[in-house]
Structure 1
Amino acid sequence: MTAVIKNRVKKILITVLIALAVLITVIAFFVNRYWSPILAGKVRSTILVASDSLYTADFTDADLHIVQGKLVIFNLTLKPNIKVYNRKLKQGTAPNNLYTLKVKRIVFKHIHPFLMYYDHKLEIGQIVISKPTLQVHYRQVRGRDTVEKNQITAWQRISPMLKSVHIKQVMLNDVDFTYNDRSGNTLKISAIKEVNLTGNELRIDSLTQHDSTRFYYFKELQIELNNINQPLGRDSLYRLKLKQLNYSTLTSKLLATGVGIVPAVDSAFIKKGVRTYYQFDTDTLQLNDFSLKKFNKFRIVYGSNLLLNRGNFVVFANRGLPVPKGNRLQSFPNVALQRIPNSFTLDTVELRNINITYKGYGRRSRKQGSVSFNGTSGSIYNITNNARANAARDTMRIEVTTRLMDSAPLHANIKFNLTDSAKSYSYKGWIGNIDLDRLNKATMPFALIKITSGWLDHMDFDIQANKNVSWGKVALHYHDLKVHLLKVDSAAGNYKHRMLVSLMANALIVKRNNPEFLGAVPRSVNVRYVREPDTPFFKAVMKTLAQGIKASVGYDAATEKHVKQMIVQRKLDKKRRQNKRELRQRRRNLRRRKGN
């Protein structure tokens, strides 16, 4: 009897559970059919009202799972209304950025439809958007915020329908991102894949409507870019490579790894007539206090500290191409900085272990030479083209330590005036001891001079300069200096030692030591270099220092002038002797013909 009662109870329980399940399923089905268009309509109307009719949201279908608290919208398109945009453009209230979003499936998780229906609060736990297509159209129609104090906020627009909007997280995964920049004369299009965006704590209510710390009402926006390989510039002569980039609006810190700017092949630059190009890479790039909001709206770049950690910067010079005509003043750092079209400010740039190399071919030797500055570390202060910042501080300052040719310690302090019309600058520093034959990688191809012996004890330089002239003092302390003068064998292409000329140079011109003997006063040289308009900045610096170095070893301006006169005279004498030989040969040939 007891077993029969137990079986009946089990059957009743199973029947009740099945009935409840069927009832819940039926109720959920009808609720889903009823609530899906209501929630979807709320999403559509909220976007329309919050954007002041600038954006519309369209989709083909919406599916609500009431038990799971999930809403799925299919084939969503969020796009701007061009008529509304043009009206705002005339009113001066149009934004600089327009967005277009297309996604096949968007999932709203942990939604609370009854809270929205009865309390007029839109609460969503998470929105997941996978593989969307996002287009951003940028056109700078205003250079500053023109939002008036009495302008209606997004919350004020939606408040008749909703008391608040709260979304804990919005995730856009694997975004196909296209950026259309119309700020210049031509349209620039950048396409990036593998973009992940995560927005945390979106809240639109009476408390957050004026919260300037939020980015589009998000407490935090996280951006992740992976495996970037994009062309740079109008001619695409360079490519930007990034292994990964991360940015958070909450910390305002941008961190990039595996950063590189890679030039095209040499022939591309030759075809364009570009004499100088570069290559850059760094393991880590970190920018602190970078405001994405200011950059996104007005292209304002600001950072308190930029760190470049472990990298290489290589400059390639093709001296075989014609020298560009005109004044090359734009090569001066303090001029180039002011030519940046948008506001740009970096309080400090920290360099840590950066190898800097100059490579080029000697004009006469046609062989490649190089000068390297290894393990460069230091700081650059006040890099800005902002007029207000320049009024407060008008000097950009550089302090660096490095190793010349991976050997001699070098320390330099460089200053640039950012405001004066003379484009003034100065550089002061010293170079420590080095075996001078380490410099042959540069002196042989560029100057056809081989240093066979010599030791630099130290070199001091202190130069003042502007766009027209450089002046200052150079002191070179060294001993046991000997050189070979070279020429290139036109047939074999090898260096050949000009023995007689080298002997004369070492005996009559080159001063072997400075100071000349123990206890003597070391020589120092006052230099003055007048810059030609077509001389770029770094060439002006090198010519100024070279003037002091040459004078220190005995090849001063007077000696150089005398040697050049001797060379010219020697060429004239050689031509005269050749003409005499040809004349004698013609006379002999004439006598032979008469004898025959």
Structure 2
Amino acid sequence: MLLYGGIGILVILITANILINRIIQRAADERLQHLSPQLKISYSSIKSNLFTSSLTLSNLTIAYTPDSNKHHHSVHFSEVKLSGIHLLTMLFRQTLSVNNLKLSNGEINLDRFLMNRKDTAPMQLLAQAPVKSISVNHLQLNTVQVWEDHQLLLRGNMGIDDININNLKNASTAGNFHFGDVKSRLSDINYILPNAYHALTAKQVSVDSREGLLEIDSLQLVPQYSKVDFFRQTGNQPLFVASSVAGISIYHFDIRKLFDKKLVAEKIILNHPVLNVYSEPNNPRLSSLFIDFKKMLSAIQTDSFKMRHAAIAYETTTGGRLELHGDIEMDKPDIRITDSVPDIRFKTLACALTDIHASIPDASQNLQIKQLDVDREGTLQATSLKTTPQYDKMEMGRKAGHQVDVVDATISGVTISKLDVAQCLQQKLVAEQIWIKESNYYIFRDRRLPRLSRYKPLPVAFLKSIPGHIRVGHFKVSPSTLLYEEFPKDKLQTGLLRFEKLQLSVTPFINHPTPSDPDHMELHMEGAIMGSGTIKTTISLPYNPAKDYYVNGAIDNLDVTTLNPSAENLGNFHVESGLLNHLAFQFSFNDEKASGKVVGEYHNLVLDKLKGQQKKIAPFPSFMLKHVIIPKNKDKSLPVDRRTGTIDYKFDHTRALSFYLLKSLLSGIEASFTFGFLLPK
């Protein structure tokens, strides 16, 4: 009887299982077919198992067509298996609770038109679902491919734990969707940014949220057109970016923040990033590239950001170019993605850059820096700086169509102490000291070309016109050499003027002072003229435009014959002999004129006036110079008033400050002679 009873119960259970499974299958089929007229669902078979509480669909295909047009999304999986279904929870709580949901061999086809349309129908479909909420302990997607308009976006595997949607009617609201750990491995990623004419590609992306690790292999940002055709083909988009990163490692990141468009992590490392940017600087259009990035990611926050072996190049359509290589590290960066350029803030920055090259088209100059280092204490060290003209010195002026200063300089190094690097990104230069080390400067000007009559403000007014803020405690230049060469308007040869051991300092160096700052800057300068004698001067530069600048200085022990390379070709006179023992000068100047005096002392000064291109001595003018205009000696035996000249010179605002100061000094020297008005001009 027990045996027969057991067999009977087993038959009943098997029969009941078959019947109930058929009821479940029919109910599932009916629910699937009547979810929405916008959904077309098909499958080859459906199986259920009451004992294991599982449901399996083979070759499931879902097509979503929101309206009568041909645009649609579709999903296909060779197998969909739900196991550990809590039937009582579904019946009494209207919650689809599943232990495991496994989707295998899937293909997801997305329609770009529907993706860009911001369609709200998917949310409405969820609201029409036969359950109110969903709970899945583990979701596994195996061998899934995602396509958009027949173009592969990505392929790979993904696992997600503890998925909960509390209310399907509010599926899109914050706080309604929760999930636990995520582990995935995606490959062949190729995503076209909708409006920016660029594509994001990656060889592989691995995510393990339990370990807090995100790794990206071979990430690239690829323009859809070549640099030559980009602006024309894209409707005058202002930004072309070609970039690649060999590898990105992100440690202890918060994957949930990604759904808020924020990347929050403990450490981000970029290996071998290469960035090439080509832009139209005067294009008023906003960059769609930044707009699309902002839609995907609005902020990056991390404790440590590193770029290892970076190569960055920036070029403009106007000819500007910047290239650099090296390593960059930032602590506590906070990067906000805006519609134009990223807003970058950080606590400290350290970098070691090499082989920096820049082209400055407005000045037709090239800049080279062999190495630039910044440490976390804010010390910037730059070595082997060179600025060179882009064309021959004669060609520079001809291309400009007017007189220009052609600069060729070599600087051994620059050190900036206690630099606030973070404020540099806000157009603020804040530092304790800027030190320019030993340098060689060469400046050439062709006076045969027309001169631009352009207003030139005084130094403080010019500094105040700079839009950025400069706040440096001390600015200094170590002993350097300055060679100035000029081609006169009516001569066949150039004239040279050389300053050696030239050094200067400015304290403080501020362009937008506050009430607590000093009322002026103090400039000290000294050097040797043509390798002989010394010149020392101090200039007080007041911040108040109503106050005068004040100059105080002296020239000592100058062998005047050393001035012949300049005097013969620029001044049309020759110095036979002469020693300027001492020339003191004190004068003030403002926007209108310079006023002051010079007091001189010299010995054995003999000058000849030259004439013609052959620079032959003009007899009569030379006689007048030697015997009437310029006494041979003026020493301390003469009264001071006989050695004093009055400075009274009107300021020409179309001239540079150096010209103003030199002419003011020469006007005093001329006035110190009885017949100074007859001196060569």
| Shared fold per TM-score greater than 0.5 | yes
Structure 2 residue corresponding to 1:486, chosen from 584, 602, 610:
610
- Counterpart of 1:454, as a letter, is G
Structure 1 residue corresponding to 2:373, chosen from 225, 228, 246:
246
CA contact (8 A) 2:460 2:543 kept: yes
CA contact (8 A) 2:402 2:450 kept: no
- Counterpart of 2:219, as a letter, is L
Matched, 1:106 2:106: no
Structure 1 residue corresponding to 2:411, chosen from 253, 265, 282:
282
Structure 2 residue corresponding to 1:472, chosen from 585, 591, 596:
596
Secondary structure in structure 1 of the residue aligned to 2:643: coil
Superposed CA RMSD in Å reads 4.5
- Counterpart of 1:290, as a letter, is L
CA contact (8 A) 2:629 2:676 kept: no
Matched, 1:455 2:575: no
Secondary structure in structure 2 of the residue aligned to 1:274: coil
**Which residue is 1:506 aligned to?**
626
CA contact (8 A) 1:276 1:315 kept: no
Secondary structure in structure 2 of the residue aligned to 1:392: coil
Query: Structure 1's 488 and 194: CA in aligned 2 closer, same or farther, altered over 3 A?
Result: same
**Which residue is 1:309 aligned to?**
437
Supply the distance in 1 between the matched residues of 2:183 and 2:344 (Cα, whole angstroms).
22
Deviations 1:117-168 (A, max 9, x none): xxxx9987773421332659999x9xxxxxxxxxxxxxxx99xxxxxx9766
- Counterpart of 2:373, as a letter, is N
Q: Which moved more, 1:339-348 or 1:464-473?
A: 339-348
Equivalent residues in 2 for 1:520-559, closer than 5 Å = 523-557=643-677, 559=678
Query: Structure 1's 294 and 57: CA in aligned 2 closer, same or farther, altered over 3 A?
Result: farther
Deviations 1:46-91 (A, max 9, x none): xxxxxxxxxx99745224799x998642343689xxxxxxxxxxxx
User: How far apart are residue 428 of structure 1 and its match?
Assistant: 0.9
User: How far apart are residue 245 of structure 1 and its match?
Assistant: 1.3
Query: Which is richer in strand?
Result: 2
Supply the distance in 2 between the matched residues of 1:101 and 1:378 (Cα, whole angstroms).
44
User: How far apart are residue 504 of structure 1 and its match?
Assistant: 3.3
Secondary structure in structure 2 of the residue aligned to 1:538: helix
Structure 1 residue corresponding to 2:456, chosen from 320, 329, 341:
329
TM-score after normalising by structure 2: 0.57
Secondary structure in structure 2 of the residue aligned to 1:268: helix
Supply the distance in 1 between the matched residues of 2:631 and 2:404 (Cα, whole angstroms).
35
User: How far apart are residue 177 of structure 1 and its match?
Assistant: 3.9
Supply the distance in 2 between the matched residues of 1:520 and 1:175 (Cα, whole angstroms).
66
Secondary structure in structure 1 of the residue aligned to 2:449: coil
- Counterpart of 1:131, as a letter, is P
Query: Structure 1's 506 and 130: CA in aligned 2 closer, same or farther, altered over 3 A?
Result: same
- Counterpart of 1:173, as a letter, is H
Equivalent residues in 2 for 1:195-594, closer than 5 Å = 195-199=325-329, 220-234=348-362, 237-248=364-375, 250-263=376-389, 264-265=391-392, 266-277=394-405, 278-296=407-425, 298-325=426-453, 328-330=455-457, 332-386=458-512, 388-389=513-514, 392-420=517-545, 424-489=548-613, 494-515=614-635, 517=637, 523-557=643-677, 559=678
Supply the distance in 1 between the matched residues of 2:242 and 2:573 (Cα, whole angstroms).
64
**Which residue is 1:178 aligned to?**
314
Supply the distance in 1 between the matched residues of 2:576 and 2:668 (Cα, whole angstroms).
21
Based on CA coordinates, which of the two structures has the bigger radius of gyration? Answer: 2
Secondary structure in structure 1 of the residue aligned to 2:595: strand
CA contact (8 A) 2:646 2:672 kept: no
Supply the distance in 2 between the matched residues of 1:303 and 1:112 (Cα, whole angstroms).
35
Supply the distance in 2 between the matched residues of 1:323 and 1:454 (Cα, whole angstroms).
34
User: How far apart are residue 308 of structure 1 and its match?
Assistant: 0.4
User: How far apart are residue 453 of structure 1 and its match?
Assistant: 1.3
Supply the distance in 2 between the matched residues of 1:530 and 1:407 (Cα, whole angstroms).
30
Secondary structure in structure 1 of the residue aligned to 2:531: coil
Deviations 1:84-115 (A, max 9, x none): xxxxxxxxxxxxxx99894353143887999x
- The structure whose RCO (Cα within 8 Å, separation 6+) is larger is 1
Supply the distance in 2 between the matched residues of 1:194 and 1:385 (Cα, whole angstroms).
29
- Counterpart of 1:61, as a letter, is Q
- Counterpart of 1:317, as a letter, is R
Q: Which moved more, 1:299-308 or 1:285-294?
A: 285-294
Query: Structure 1's 535 and 268: CA in aligned 2 closer, same or farther, altered over 3 A?
Result: closer
Deviations 1:528-580 (A, max 9, x none): 112244443222211111122233354423x56xx99xxxxxxxxxxxxxxxx
User: How far apart are residue 420 of structure 1 and its match?
Assistant: 0.8
User: How far apart are residue 478 of structure 1 and its match?
Assistant: 0.5
User: How far apart are residue 282 of structure 1 and its match?
Assistant: 0.9
CA contact (8 A) 1:308 1:351 kept: yes
User: Alignment length, in residue pairs?
Assistant: 452
Deviations 1:233-264 (A, max 9, x none): 43x5111111111223x212221111122223
Query: Structure 1's 273 and 135: CA in aligned 2 closer, same or farther, altered over 3 A?
Result: closer
Deviations 1:450-487 (A, max 9, x none): 11111111110001111211110101100111111111
5+ residue gaps, structure 1: 1-29, 43-55, 80-97, 142-156, 159-164, 181-186, 205-214, 565-596
Q: Which moved more, 1:365-374 or 1:68-77?
A: 68-77
Query: Structure 1's 272 and 193: CA in aligned 2 closer, same or farther, altered over 3 A?
Result: closer
User: How far apart are residue 171 of structure 1 and its match?
Assistant: 3.0
- Counterpart of 1:73, as a letter, is I
CA contact (8 A) 2:603 2:633 kept: yes
Deviations 1:386-407 (A, max 9, x none): 1x43773342220122112121
- Counterpart of 2:489, as a letter, is R
- Counterpart of 1:524, as a letter, is T
- Counterpart of 2:423, as a letter, is K
Q: Which moved more, 1:454-463 or 1:497-506?
A: 497-506
**Which residue is 1:132 aligned to?**
274
Secondary structure in structure 2 of the residue aligned to 1:315: strand
Secondary structure in structure 1 of the residue aligned to 2:591: coil
TM-score after normalising by structure 1: 0.64
Supply the distance in 2 between the matched residues of 1:534 and 1:194 (Cα, whole angstroms).
38
- Counterpart of 1:62, as a letter, is V
- Counterpart of 2:520, as a letter, is T
CA contact (8 A) 2:500 2:527 kept: yes
Query: Structure 1's 366 and 393: CA in aligned 2 closer, same or farther, altered over 3 A?
Result: farther
User: How far apart are residue 352 of structure 1 and its match?
Assistant: 0.5
CA contact (8 A) 1:362 1:447 kept: no
Secondary structure in structure 1 of the residue aligned to 2:438: strand
Secondary structure in structure 2 of the residue aligned to 1:458: strand
- Counterpart of 2:646, as a letter, is N
5+ residue gaps, structure 2: 1-141, 143-155, 161-180, 187-198, 223-238, 258-262, 285-298, 335-342
Query: Which is richer in helix?
Result: 1
**Which residue is 1:144 aligned to?**
none
